[in-house]
Structure 1
């Protein structure tokens, strides 16, 4: 390798490959060799860490730079107006998804969200650059990633555009992987896949693995592990929904659940698919104990639960939906992430439990309960 690849950096990524193997994130010799061969530091020439309300830039001059780059950590690589807008994902999570993709050397792969280019480099090393297409909404990020990839000897097709549309010029694909967060899997991707092709995509706080059927649908289960990615966004946008502040004259009532339940991993996953595009924020006291929870969404809906009371406003009663989803979760034995699945058709997306024949009613109805 070039670009200041040294014995020290090779040793660091060999150690990272060993760690990911020991954890079970790497399950095959092929992907272990790729992690050992592909350097991460050329794709992360700097990163940011949060210090209080500010973001501090960490460059190769920093004594902790290389150890951080070759750790199993997600690293924020772009901050826009104080909001993170790009990152290099946690390597362990990346390898879980790449293993689930089940690629072979002749597969044609589309990646959504190029980011730094590191994941595209891993794919290129595994299946060959000519078989990889990667799509990035941020034109500057796409250009920088293409340059880094070329410096490291990889030449996949890098396309600057809206990843939700896929990339028809490179279709059909055998595999598709997304590395930014979605609430709904775009049907355009299904249309660009070969039958029996596999898609791996973050949906809510989970990663869904779907197989494309010959009837033009795609269906599959969520992987057991969790997932947390920056949301898909428009170019020039942070992808976030700013907190609206307390609305005037909200409705108030006693809450039927303790806001602390929202810290349960199973509940968090369920709500992430039950209430897509809803933002949540916990409140804590000086001792770190949970005191309340706020929810808000792009449509102007808002809720605040604290001290046994909840205030709500907007077209969707968000806390009602939380209570419905939590009650359904408990009544169904608190099912964990791996029992859920998703089916995507031309008309929409359905979340189900155990079987596509068993759609989850609380999830399906969560957004429709109005005041």
Structure 2
């Protein structure tokens, strides 16, 4: 049913149709999980208590959250942060298509999660051609059991995916279902991939987590490639420190309470700064700044919050109908960094470049450095 829906929408390529029809997503989603509402807040679903609602979610093109706070938050509690999920099927397909696998290819997957993606790969390539690594022991054991119950037996390793799995090398493809932070693509992935092979990973910055990076590995030990799409995934655990959880409300309150905050206005549209291609470019240009968009209860009123945990700095731009009509939005800034000024400078730099889309950016990874470039590997973009 899910495969038919994806095919009808034009999202299911022919070479993955058989695997999507054969592998039951429901066999990999736990009986108790969470589904995000329209505001991105998780709400519990229970297969035993409400099987209709559970099935409607599992066989829809939506992500299913399967773990909060590394398991510390126990269902049906909904506080905290999502740390594992069954990804949106359409995004799964986009990534598998970009991975460009063929019969005979050997694949390393980083981030087993539920095991669903590993099952799709195993169905397409064969069990012996797939190695999947999961850092969380509980998730690894559950995935191993679900895969076996569904008739698949790829090698499931409990370990740190950032170091790959050297015993299974060389791989034709490496795919990560966890995001990496700019400047920190794990070099073991490059070392363990054949020359000519591909590495596919969600890639982003603290400011904008969401680019899908595809690298080609070369004979000289370097890897280069472009951003080929959008994929906002949870970060590798060792990369979370670059954008730590749970500080937006605290730093927003600190900014609101400040009696020394600097007040000004801006003619740069706040939502453009925080979303899309501009946000991608801004994230490349500045260091350590996170952002959030927070609608108020009053229609048309939105706050765009910028914050830096390390320096305890914050800035907020207020969107209101009056500000929209005037084309000038009020800004408050607090702390040793003037975050809005930094972001506005980066925005102006991006606009002067001609507002390039994220797919014009690329990355080079070598044993000693990682560089971002625009249009060509020789055109290096300055980064912090």
TM-score range, shorter chain: 0.7 to 0.9
For the 8 Å contact 1:115–1:145, the answer to whether it is kept is yes
Pair 1:31 & 2:16 matched? yes
Partner of 2:164: 166
Equivalent residue of 2:156, what SS? strand
For the 8 Å contact 1:250–1:313, the answer to whether it is kept is no
Q: Which moved more, 1:341-350 or 1:101-110?
A: 341-350
Q: How does 1:1-371 map to 2 (within 5 A)?
A: 12-19=1-8, 22-23=10-11, 26-27=12-13, 29-46=14-31, 47-50=33-36, 55-59=43-47, 61-80=50-69, 81=73, 82=79, 83-183=81-181, 184-204=184-204, 205-223=210-228, 225-233=229-237, 240-243=244-247, 244-245=250-251, 246=254, 252=262, 254=264, 256=266, 257-275=268-286, 278-307=289-318, 308-314=330-336, 317-361=338-382, 364=383, 367=384
Count residues with an aligned counterpart: 345
Partner of 2:324: none
- Give a deviation string over 1:284-319, Cα, whole Å, max 9, x none: 3323435432223453443222352231425x5533
Distance in 2, matches of 1:151 and 1:241, equals: 35
Q: Which moved more, 1:323-332 or 1:56-65?
A: 56-65
Deviation, structure 1 residue 270: 2.3
Q: Structure 1: state its 5+ residue gaps.
A: 1-11
Cα separation, partners in 2 of 1:116 and 1:324, compared to 1, 3 Å = same
Distance in 1, matches of 2:259 and 2:169, equals: 52
Equivalent residue of 2:114, what SS? coil
Deviation, structure 1 residue 58: 3.0
Distance in 2, matches of 1:220 and 1:236, equals: 24
Equivalent residue of 2:60, what SS? coil
Distance in 2, matches of 1:150 and 1:90, equals: 23
Q: How does the TM-score come out when normalised to structure 2?
A: 0.82
Equivalent residue of 1:359, what SS? coil
RMSD of aligned alpha carbons: 2.6
- Give a deviation string over 1:12-55, Cα, whole Å, max 9, x none: 133234145x13xx33x221111111110010023213579774
Q: How does the TM-score come out when normalised to structure 1?
A: 0.85
Deviation, structure 1 residue 253: 5.2
For the 8 Å contact 1:282–1:290, the answer to whether it is kept is no
Deviation, structure 1 residue 190: 0.6
Distance in 2, matches of 1:92 and 1:198, equals: 21
Cα separation, partners in 2 of 1:277 and 1:111, compared to 1, 3 Å = farther
Deviation, structure 1 residue 259: 2.0
Deviation, structure 1 residue 90: 0.8
Distance in 1, matches of 2:239 and 2:345, equals: 36
Distance in 2, matches of 1:118 and 1:107, equals: 19
